[in-house]
Structure 1
Amino acid sequence: MTEDRQTAMPTPTPVGWPPRNRRELLVKTLWIGVWLVFLSSPVDDLVGGRHTTGATVAGALGLAVFVGVYLTLVYRNMGRPFAPRVVLGLGGILGVLACALAYTLGSAWLGLFVYLSVAWGATLPLRAAYWAIPASGVVMYLIGLRFDEKEARGLLLLVVLIGFAMTGVGQLVRTTVELRKARATVAQLAANEERLRLARDLHDLLGHSLSLITLKSELAGRMLPGSPDKAAQQVADIEQVSRQALVDVREAVTGYRRRRLAAELAGAQVALTAAGVAAEVPAEPEVAGVPEESESALAWALREAVTNVVRHSGADRCVVQLLSRQTLDGPVLELCVEDNGSGGPGNGPGNGLTGLTERLEKTGGSLEAGRVKRGFRLVARVPAAPAGHVGSGA
């Protein structure tokens, strides 16, 4: 787990996201297009010479239109859904083509109803899909009675089951899209709240000081011709107020820059999940009484560890633990981040871990990092009590 490698590992496209580059476009196309292999029966029926030339040409055109409409409906709707009218229109075209081709060309074309059922399950709302999928199966069965009842009966079960299975996939996609929008909204609200907090703090810090400086400046200006001593006193007061305002601003900026462990834990959960890593992260850290320097150092350690897991380790599972321990030197807060990855290509600690070790040592803490039997583990410890406080021995 080092920072020697600069290139980040690519993360898969989450379910419901449109493709972001050519590679993801190809993967999505293959995922949807691979199921077209079940169209081998209609294709074999066409090339087998069992129909007249006109019927063969009409069947080939109908099949091409069916495949094009199916791919358009399912492919597009998995990322950016069509309007309901468009979905119903394209689905209706699929239904008409499936019925016409299967009825006129034979039982080899009954498999088109499987694709119709998949399209209904993936694109329609649940309530509509619960009616459309069985209806597709019934229509397929009635048409199949003209040719082979046994085959139609077996295909009926497949049409219904795969259609309802796709309703689960469609619901997952819709839920994922809604969750992504909700996260974006939450992030925007958090940013707005932070702006409001910053505005309030600046007003509280500088409003009184700047008003006082303005007032004393006006007084000094009026006193300067006749009472230079009093004017000098006002200038001295202005200097004192401005210095205090500068100190207050510096303290406020230091507080803004300080990392908070709760925020880093929440960010770690989001980052690991987005990278496709199964994460176990504590929700509410117990940091009451922990010095701010210790909490900040531990937050930096968590950020460094999670960054390395996402970028370098190749792990698919990560466990974050936050424990309070009592030692001979006093209470300590221990952060443990363990993954099942390789730990990165480096043979020694990178610059990130070296700098992190120095940061922890400044607060009286320590860092342990290295490979374990099934992955990589980072353990950071910081004092959980102010300097000079020694707890009972363990």
Structure 2
Amino acid sequence: MTDDQLPADVRAEHSVRVGRPPRTRAEAVRKLVWILPWLIFLASPVQDLKSGDHGTAATAAGWVALVFFTGVYLTLVFRNMGRPFSEPIVGVLVALLGVLAVTLCLTLGGEWIGLFVYVSVACGATLPQRAAYWAVGGNTVAMALVGLRVGADYWSLVLVVLLLGFSMMGVKQLVRTTVELRKARATVAQLAANEERLRLARDLHDLLGHSLSLITLKSELAGRMLPDHPDKAAQQVADIEQVSRQALVDVREAVTGYRRPRLSAELAGAQVALTAADVIADVPAEPDLAGVPEESESALAWSLREAVTNVVRHSGATRCTIEVLRRQTLDGPVLELSVEDNGSGGSGKGPGNGLTGLTERLEKAGGALEAARTRHGFRLVARVPAGAATPVGSGA
């Protein structure tokens, strides 16, 4: 998979990163938008303060307490999205929210009962899992007792408070799992890179270790023979030339193998690229490549890379289906790659440089390429010889 297949660098700037702190002001605003709609439960306290049923001092104190409560809640929940406070600070802030909710309801009336919703959300979103269970339940009980004391019509909110608290616990667990999966994927990628470096080191040692040792030995022999036995020294030099040429051939073959794309890796890359481009991808699992020549596999891998790049960059598709099948033809078994999408297939009137290059590459491997618009989009089919392996019964 090439980097140009992934427009993720652009899309990352416009997406909300789950479980990570905001990097820019725009990203912070987008995360804040997820919190602000829940402030609808503050409408009743605001209406109560504006009704004039309380004295001037009580109204002023109520406004100050409401603003302070909202600020603590937003700070606590917003910080929890990226760089959360330490557990002691979180416990103190959650307890402060609970005390404010109880105090305001008991002093200003039942219209403030909705504050317990925010306490429940804060408990579920910020406290450790075990503590959150007890805190959400305790908050619900406290709301019921305060409601009985002030005579508020709160029963419709009991279930909301309870379910929101437990729902936020589930969301927090989901975010934590997402973060762990992201870290695990990065670790796997690093381990794969380390393993590839080790493989490269082993291959270079196996390829060049013996050849270079032999060249060194024969060079020393030639140096000792040169004064007295020039004929034998010349033979040693000829041997050195032969060994070095063979070493050069081996290195070139090895480099060619490293550069050759693998179909399984390209399928995995296609899944990532299409998903990053918001294209619904139907990608097969590990294909059966038994008996398939390396040249044929490489040609199909290049075809898949080019096809996916076209889907991501030019087609405007929302769905893409990839299939890898073995078929039996009159010319023998073939391996067929099909990439079909529901996009436009690009704006060009004829085949572009990419498809022309693919056609030449496939013909060199003994295969063929078909690419054309369909009724619902665009379809590319690449076929290569599959060797003498027994074909899978998938129909011709």
Give the TM-score, by structure 1 length: 0.88
Residue 342 of structure 1 deviates from its aligned partner by 4.7
Cα deviation digits, residues 68-113 of structure 1 (max 9, x gap)? 2222222232234443333323322322222222222222221121
Residue 7 of structure 1 deviates from its aligned partner by 7.9
The 8 Å contact of residues 367 and 380 in structure 1, kept in 2 or not, is answered as yes
Greater mean alpha carbon deviation, residues 266-275 or residues 228-237: 266-275
Alignment of 1:306-317 (within 5 A): 306-317=308-319
Cα deviation digits, residues 238-288 of structure 1 (max 9, x gap)? 111110110000000000000011111222233333444443322221011
Q: Distance in 2 between matches of 1:261 and 1:125?
A: 45
Please name the residue that 1:390 is paired with: none
Please name the residue that 1:143 is paired with: 146
Residue 177 of structure 1 deviates from its aligned partner by 0.6
Equivalent of 1:283, from 282, 285, 292? 285
Please name the residue that 2:11 is paired with: 10
Across the aligned residues of Structure 1 and Structure 2, the Cα RMSD in angstroms comes to 2.8
Cα deviation digits, residues 121-158 of structure 1 (max 9, x gap)? 22333333222212111111111113335x21111111
Residue 227 of structure 1 deviates from its aligned partner by 1.2
Please name the residue that 1:91 is paired with: 94
Letter in 1 for 2:145: L
Residue 374 of structure 1 deviates from its aligned partner by 4.0
Alignment of 1:262-281 (within 5 A): 262-281=264-283
Letter in 2 for 1:242: S
Q: Secondary structure at the match of 2:297?
A: helix
The 8 Å contact of residues 78 and 173 in structure 1, kept in 2 or not, is answered as no
Please name the residue that 2:133 is paired with: 130
Cα deviation digits, residues 207-254 of structure 1 (max 9, x gap)? 111111111111111111111111111111111111011000000000
Q: Secondary structure at the match of 2:340?
A: strand
Give the TM-score, by structure 2 length: 0.88
Please name the residue that 2:219 is paired with: 217
In 2 relative to 1, CA 157–346 (structure 1 residues): closer, same or farther, beyond 3 Å? Answer: farther
Please name the residue that 2:392 is paired with: none
Higher relative contact order (CA 8 A, sep 6+): 1
Equivalent of 1:158, from 157, 160, 167? 160
Q: Secondary structure at the match of 1:293?
A: helix
Q: Distance in 2 between matches of 1:370 and 1:97?
A: 67
Q: Distance in 2 between matches of 1:93 and 1:342?
A: 58
Greater mean alpha carbon deviation, residues 157-166 or residues 248-257: 157-166
Q: Distance in 1 between matches of 2:100 and 2:117?
A: 13
Please name the residue that 1:31 is paired with: 34
Q: Distance in 2 between matches of 1:346 and 1:103?
A: 72
Letter in 1 for 2:381: V
Q: Distance in 1 between matches of 2:27 and 2:231?
A: 76
Equivalent of 1:42, from 42, 45, 48? 45
- How many pairs align? 386
The 8 Å contact of residues 337 and 381 in structure 2, kept in 1 or not, is answered as yes
Equivalent of 1:195, from 194, 197, 206? 197
Q: Name structure 2 gaps, 5 residues minimum.
A: 389-394
Q: Name structure 1 gaps, 5 residues minimum.
A: 387-392
Q: Distance in 1 between matches of 2:337 and 2:347?
A: 24
Residue 67 of structure 1 deviates from its aligned partner by 2.1
Residue 301 of structure 1 deviates from its aligned partner by 1.9
In 2 relative to 1, CA 70–376 (structure 1 residues): closer, same or farther, beyond 3 Å? Answer: farther
